[in-house]
Amino acid sequence: MADKDTYGRVPVVIAEVTQPRCALRFGVGDCTATGTPKCYNTYWTCLDKPNYDPTGSIAWRFSRPGDDVDWLYEEDAGGNNIKTNAIPILETASHTSSRINPGASRTGESPLGRRATAQIKVTDAVWDDHVGDFYLADRPARATPVGFGTLLNARNPFYPGWTAKIYEGYKGQTLAQMQSRVFDVEQVVGPDAGDSFTIQCRDPLDGLRGRNAEYPPTSQIDLRGDIDASTTTIPVRCLVAQLTETYGNTGTTRYVVIGDEIISYTGNTGTEPDLTLTGVVRGVLLSQAESHSDEDAVQRGAYHVDQRPYAIASYIIKDHTIVPNAFIDDTQWNAEGNRWLSTILATAFIPEPVAVKQLLGELGRDGLFSIWWDDRLQTIPLLAVRPPSGIPVKWNDDDNISSLTQTTKIDDRMTRVSVFFGIRDWMEPLNEVTNYKNRLIRIDAEVESEVAAGGKIVDNTINSRWVRTFGNATLLSFSLLRRFALPPRYITLVLDAKDRAVNIGDAIDLTTRYIRDSEGNAIETRWQVIGIDDPKPGSQIKVELQSFAFQGKFAVIMANDAPDYVDATDAERLDGCWIAENTGIMPDGTEAYLLQ
């Protein structure tokens, strides 16, 4: 049995790897396969691939040899979906949590932050297929013993639809009571000379970072014949789906790009692949009508008009990537967006394929929000750049902190923000400031002064395809300077697992002897959680914090029937706004509210 921790708990770790399998039986019903050897209900051992049905599954569960895990076996009525008992061959199950890049604005880091990864290391112990093989009784005995990982690789060279879940808890808990994290399986490495193999995993958002994750995707459309600048029935060669797919929010009005010209159309006629665009308007969206030649490439463009940036991000992820729609909780996104991001609208035309990772980074930066893969909640949350909601968690040296390290990143600071917006030509490069009609510059004069900060000017220039008004540009520049005018500070804490209810994005009010005021007095400072890991699963957590710009109580517009301050509950006082006394203090002696 594993050693107890300082609270007398016995940590338990279980790794679960689920692979899709064929739900048909060999040579029965739709499966017409015959002969030997029979399949192992995997695609690459299937003898009747046209009828392969991957709706079955098997979840392989592994535990550490000393964890003494209780009976876990599960099987549905047809035996097509199996979850095994914990096979005691797990060596380690390590993972690196996501880390957010708040507002996609921290330099030197992916706008989507750090991806979550996991490695499940398993001993390649001898395996006799006593579970999961429907035809074990029909097979001859093996001449030599074979390891589990060796067989897993032989039967599955690829891992489409495979998932991994790591459970961390204590002896006596059910799986439902344990903390769990979910990942996609990327590959199985090994077995090696040490008789071990490793299942390498990644978070589902990794699908947004791949080289094929582009929006809009590359079109397979060619011009069919020459056209001049006045032609309004445009012949093309492609499949109908290439013309009817939706990219944006303009309904039946769609857009193609030929050369430097943007053309709108509303329909098509003909028989594929020989089709003709109808309802055509030439030279739209700041472009000019031109002549084009037979077999010129035709690219679909994406046009978003007056949409909230977070809604565009949701649309791109759900409709144009392989990330499952279920990972976005619409209720959570809409609640967060309606409350904090309702005044920001974006308009942009995207004339060619752009990496989804880049677009989501731009939308998060300009729309003032963050997204990440939460491997514990198993969703992609939306978090606005905003004050904390509710009472921040309080941590201190005596009750929470086992160790603390802190750093300051001078290179992340900025003294001014220049926002260029108002595109002149959608076909010109976005990095050319001459391609923008408008510019807004916000400067923090104090942090640029020689006496206060050495006189160094650090300009963060943003060329935005999405920002459309001076109001939005003002919000963006103000938000960035608020967070980065002073060099941002970062703290890494190690705490007991009892504190693991905290999550990425939460606000922490921290009191520690390592942070004092100028008089040496203890002070409480506010931080935001940007990453969480488990260096000792079930025993410790490691939390990464970034200095948080939102200090104090921030005012929120209230309903007409809101109570007076003295009659309000604590919850109402946290989520409202009352005018302070002439002294600048609330009636109960607390600080006044701040207008954002």
E-state strands within 153-239: 163-170, 179-189, 196-202, 214-215, 221-223, 234-237
pLDDT band at 535 (very low <50, low <70, confident <90, very high): confident
Looking at residue 115, its pLDDT comes to: 81
Higher confidence at residue 203 or residue 256?
256
pLDDT at 3 > cutoff 80 = no
Q: Which helix (H) or strand (E) holds 569?
A: none
Looking at residue 537, its pLDDT comes to: 67
Measured at the CA of 162, the angle between CA 159 and CA 168, to 5 degrees, comes to 135
The SS3 of residue 483 is helix
Looking at residue 552, its pLDDT comes to: 52
Cα–Cα distance list, 324 to 32, 150, 361 (Å): 32, 31, 20
Residue pair 549/523 in contact (Cβ under 8 Å)? The answer is: no
CATH code linked to domain 393-409+488-547: 2.30.300.10
What is d(CA 434, CA 60) in angstroms, rounded to the nearest whole number?
58
Which range among 11-20, 151-160, 202-211, 321-330 shows the weakest confidence by mean pLDDT? 202-211
Chain-centroid distance, C-alpha 385:
16
Report how far apart the first and last C-alpha atoms of the chain are (Å, whole number): 55
Looking at residue 120, its pLDDT comes to: 94
Looking at residue 585, its pLDDT comes to: 74
Nearest to 47 by CA among 61, 65, 34: 34
What is d(CA 205, CA 183) in angstroms, rounded to the nearest whole number?
10
pLDDT at 487 > cutoff 90 = no
Kindly report the backbone phi and psi dihedral angles of residue 72, in degrees, each rounded to the nearest multiple of 5, phi listed first. -125, -5
Looking at residue 578, its pLDDT comes to: 72
What is d(CA 340, CA 367) in angstroms, rounded to the nearest whole number?
10
Highest mean predicted confidence (pLDDT) among 131-140, 246-255, 401-410: 246-255
Looking at residue 470, its pLDDT comes to: 94
Kindly report the backbone phi and psi dihedral angles of residue 274, in degrees, each rounded to the nearest multiple of 5, phi listed first. -90, 100
Highest mean predicted confidence (pLDDT) among 1-15, 174-188, 244-258: 244-258
Higher confidence at residue 24 or residue 580?
24
What is d(CA 86, CA 73) in angstroms, rounded to the nearest whole number?
8
What would the DSSP string read from start to end of 37-106?
SPP-SSGGG-S-GGG--TTEEEEEEEE-TTS-PPP--EE-TTSSEEEEEEES-EEEEEEE--B--GGG--
pLDDT band at 78 (very low <50, low <70, confident <90, very high): confident
pLDDT per residue as tens digits for the range 91-110: 999 888 888 877 766 666 67
pLDDT band at 462 (very low <50, low <70, confident <90, very high): very high
What is d(CA 190, CA 576) in angstroms, rounded to the nearest whole number?
57
Looking at residue 211, its pLDDT comes to: 60
Nearest to 90 by CA among 21, 149, 159: 149
Domain boundaries, the chain: 11-202, 205-376, 393-409+488-547, 410-484, 552-596
pLDDT per residue as tens digits for the range 542-579: 999 998 876 555 556 666 777 876 777 766 666 666 77
In sequence order, the β-bridge partners of residue 230 are none
pLDDT at 594 > cutoff 70 = no
pLDDT per residue as tens digits for the range 521-533: 989 999 999 888 8
pLDDT at 294 > cutoff 70 = yes
Cβ neighbourhood burial of 250 (10 Å; 0-12, 13-18, 19+): middle
Higher confidence at residue 469 or residue 591?
469
Q: What integer is the mean pLDDT of 403-418?
A: 89
pLDDT per residue as tens digits for the range 347-357: 999 999 999 98
Cβ neighbourhood burial of 76 (10 Å; 0-12, 13-18, 19+): exposed
In the DSSP assignment, the letter for residue 379 is B
Q: What integer is the mean pLDDT of 279-301?
A: 96
Looking at residue 239, its pLDDT comes to: 96
Nearest to 372 by CA among 141, 92, 106, 84: 106
Cα–Cα distance list, 99 to 203, 296, 363, 402, 531 (Å): 12, 44, 18, 21, 4
pLDDT band at 405 (very low <50, low <70, confident <90, very high): very high
pLDDT band at 386 (very low <50, low <70, confident <90, very high): confident
pLDDT band at 193 (very low <50, low <70, confident <90, very high): confident
What would the two tokens of residue 42 be? 């995997």
Highest mean predicted confidence (pLDDT) among 405-419, 524-538, 579-593: 405-419
